[in-house]
Structure 1
Amino acid sequence: MISNSLFDNTKTAFRLKSDSELERAYFLFKMISKEPLVKIGTAVTKFALNINLPVEGLIRSTVFDHFCGGVSETDCMATVEKLSDVGVCSVLDFSVEGKEEEKYFDSAAAKVIELTQFAKNKKTMPFSVFKPTGFGRFKLLQKVTEKQDLTEAETLEWQKLEARYDQVSKVAHDCNIRLLIDGEESWMQDAADDLCEKMMEKYNKEKAIVFNTLQCYRWDRLDYMKKMHRRAKEKGYKLGFKIVRGAYMEKENERAAEKGYKTPICESKKATDDNFNEIMKYIMDNLIDIQLFVGTHNELSNYLAMEMMEEKGISKSDNHIWFGQLFGMSDHITFNLGAEGYNVTKYIPFGPVKDVMPYLIRRAEENTSVAGQTSRELTLLKKEKKRRKL
């Protein structure tokens, strides 16, 4: 029987945090809980970095070190080893965003290849990851999604984008490292989905190497997955899916209203939760064909996944099912799952401080918009501070 108080264990949750790190975490989440402060803070930070004020040290010692593993993969290794000691695996994520030139796309692909080879002989680094817009221009992916004709130059650009997908997928296959491909905005996602499916057909013959991401706040994702499952069975390859709720809700709803089309987002939080849980159940019912990465900070969905596994007699360490949370968040879920023997990972962003700022700003804004998340973090941090005093 799964205990519904498992995630209340703060001793296990914060076992890797020193007293000063605990205080820093409490301070950061207190700041993030106040929306005006987040808005002012992000604006001031962007401005300071743009005019090259010497603020990197301050950023590094506060928000960066809390949410990121370091400036390079070598820098992250101390964290990776600490996590490994308590039964938690790591996914290193080179989180440089917003670059739009071919040279940056080439270097991003080279970095993912390097990280995949780096992870090859490390048991606690079973995944690599990238974003579609890390490998090609957003507008190009959008144009292909909208089925617009490409110019000769764009056709060449698209071929290069596809080649990057293929190179990275091949290396992942050869290294036996699973490759997670993130989901982004719906108006460019079809092109990214099609590329991902192509890679699955090519490299997932024996088992899931390439994983796509299903953003479950989109009401069409269950249907999309079922159709994809049928195609995969017909053609004889396996599927891998990371399921998340999604990170672009406000932007999606605003664009739908502005352009006058039906929003791709579920009508309510409950509908999103139901969709997430239904997609998870479908995958659990079809583990022979599909591997699952449960990427969520929602406690109830994690409990539900554990209950489904217990009901179906699936071992906690079954390699078809993985859990994951972001570094610096939901330690009460990650470390308690790890202590119980489940396959669980921390997504660890890294990269030069200035280049990782767009990622960090997005994290802060997301935490501000999910009020329950931040207040839960604060409650648990407060509880652990009290426990240590006693």
Structure 2
Amino acid sequence: MSTKNYFDNTEVAFKLKSDSELERAYFLFKMISKEPLVRMGTAVTKFALNLNLPVEGLIRSTVFDHFCGGVNEKDCMSTVDKLYDVGVYSVLDFSVEGKEEDEQFDATAKKVVELTHFAQNKKAMPFSVFKPTGFGKFDIFQKITEKKSMTAAEEDQWEQIKRRYEEVSKAAHDCNISLLIDAEQSWMQDAADMLCEEMMAKYNREKPVVFNTLQCYRWDRLDYLKKQHEKAKAGGYKLGFKIVRGAYLEKENERAVENGYQTPICASKKETDDNFNAIMHYIMENLEDIHLFVGTHNELSTYLAMDYMEEMGIDKKDRKMWFGQLYGMSDHITFNLGELGYNVSKYIPFGPVKDVMPYLIRRAEENTSVAGQTSRELGLLKKEKVRRKL
């Protein structure tokens, strides 16, 4: 494991932050570190937004502007350009969640297609992204996963979801842009995987265009990956995977207990870490067949990937291998990787303030539940504040 402390360089990590942005980040992570405050804050925010109280300005100037690029893609462009200037790419993520109407699903798919065409002429944006439930109702994915019978109307909705997947995958293929498809809860994921596999078989002929996401807190994902690899070799196409630890830990475990089945989640944080690293290693050994996007805020896994690259003779600029972190988090990893010359990107959520709130609330809750993440952010922000004073 690398002994060099690349990620301790706060001057590089926060070089794009003004003093006031640094203060805001410090204030936000201080708030997020207190679980009761997060619970209270999210409840009050949901309440205020549901009543249409005039809180958007306040949200915008604090949590929204820290974790999001803007309300539309035009808003995000100055951020995208600034990041690119310091060697960091952008993945624009239209983070509108929890919609239920066909028109809204169509609008989201259309937005992803537009962004993909836009990215075609923008070197700073090599990826497009979407979330399965941005394209259709959760219930439909769940029914397909659980192999339940559906009404004619539901069958039609499933066909519409397939059409949206097809439109977006074709656009990515035609524009030579990689398409990252997020993963969600296990009880709907088989259906999402199935659609993603179909798109890979169709559009990943010459190289990986469509990427699925492996949530490595699921103990079954390494087996799933190996089976997909065999299938792809037999079918003559390539694979792309984004690997993450996973974002629905509590929900997954609670549901397993409630419904009396074995939880799909690893028994401990250590098992999750080991699983993540094993999956990462397997893909890196098979980069000719599978391209990799390492989505992580974990320093040890990042160092491990850097070590593997060195051992295996993988060039830092090899486009088969990417790193990524969320905008507003783990800048010490992102910007130092960029400075060192690795392919690294920021996932930048955007969208109308009200529509992006479910995403932001999940981020805040996730940060409180990841022990050490928030205190690490706070420590680095504090260190940079001291450095600037001196």
TM-score of the aligned structures, taking structure 2 as reference length: 0.99
Residue 3 of structure 1 deviates from its aligned partner by 4.7
**Secondary structure of the corresponding residue to residue 372 of structure 2:** helix
> Counterparts of 1:4-153 in structure 2 under 5 Å?
4-153=4-153
1:304 aligns with 2:304: yes
> Counterparts of 1:198-277 in structure 2 under 5 Å?
198-277=198-277
Once residues 353 and 149 of structure 1 are traced to their aligned partners in structure 2, the CA distance between those partners, rounded to angstroms, is 37
Residue 2 of structure 1 deviates from its aligned partner by 4.4
Once residues 306 and 147 of structure 2 are traced to their aligned partners in structure 1, the CA distance between those partners, rounded to angstroms, is 41
Once residues 285 and 51 of structure 2 are traced to their aligned partners in structure 1, the CA distance between those partners, rounded to angstroms, is 54
Unaligned runs of at least 5 residues, structure 1? none
Report which stretch shifted further, 265-274 or 1-10. 1-10
Report if the CA contact (8 A) 2:277-2:301 is conserved: yes
Once residues 145 and 166 of structure 2 are traced to their aligned partners in structure 1, the CA distance between those partners, rounded to angstroms, is 19
Report if the CA contact (8 A) 1:244-1:294 is conserved: yes
Report if the CA contact (8 A) 2:2-2:304 is conserved: no
Once residues 218 and 8 of structure 1 are traced to their aligned partners in structure 2, the CA distance between those partners, rounded to angstroms, is 30
Report which stretch shifted further, 148-157 or 366-375. 148-157
**Secondary structure of the corresponding residue to residue 43 of structure 1:** helix
Q: Which residue identity lines up with residue 293 of structure 1 in the other structure?
A: F
Unaligned runs of at least 5 residues, structure 2? none
Q: Which residue identity lines up with residue 119 of structure 2 in the other structure?
A: A
Residue 371 of structure 1 deviates from its aligned partner by 2.4
**Secondary structure of the corresponding residue to residue 24 of structure 1:** helix
Report if the CA contact (8 A) 1:217-1:275 is conserved: yes
Report if the CA contact (8 A) 1:26-1:381 is conserved: yes
Once residues 283 and 275 of structure 1 are traced to their aligned partners in structure 2, the CA distance between those partners, rounded to angstroms, is 12
Which residue in the other structure is 1:364 paired with? 364
Which residue in the other structure is 1:327 paired with? 327
Which residue in the other structure is 2:155 paired with? 155
Once residues 159 and 148 of structure 1 are traced to their aligned partners in structure 2, the CA distance between those partners, rounded to angstroms, is 16
Once residues 365 and 160 of structure 2 are traced to their aligned partners in structure 1, the CA distance between those partners, rounded to angstroms, is 33
Once residues 154 and 42 of structure 2 are traced to their aligned partners in structure 1, the CA distance between those partners, rounded to angstroms, is 35
Residue 237 of structure 1 deviates from its aligned partner by 0.2
Once residues 3 and 315 of structure 2 are traced to their aligned partners in structure 1, the CA distance between those partners, rounded to angstroms, is 17
Once residues 227 and 6 of structure 2 are traced to their aligned partners in structure 1, the CA distance between those partners, rounded to angstroms, is 36
Residue 144 of structure 1 deviates from its aligned partner by 0.3
Q: Which residue identity lines up with residue 350 of structure 2 in the other structure?
A: F
Count of equivalent residues: 390
Report if the CA contact (8 A) 2:218-2:265 is conserved: yes
Residue 30 of structure 1 deviates from its aligned partner by 0.1
Which residue in the other structure is 2:382 paired with? 382
Residue 4 of structure 1 deviates from its aligned partner by 2.9
Once residues 364 and 193 of structure 1 are traced to their aligned partners in structure 2, the CA distance between those partners, rounded to angstroms, is 27
Which residue in the other structure is 2:194 paired with? 194
Once residues 134 and 210 of structure 1 are traced to their aligned partners in structure 2, the CA distance between those partners, rounded to angstroms, is 17
Indicate the percent of aligned positions where both proteins have the same amino acid. 77
Once residues 339 and 317 of structure 1 are traced to their aligned partners in structure 2, the CA distance between those partners, rounded to angstroms, is 12
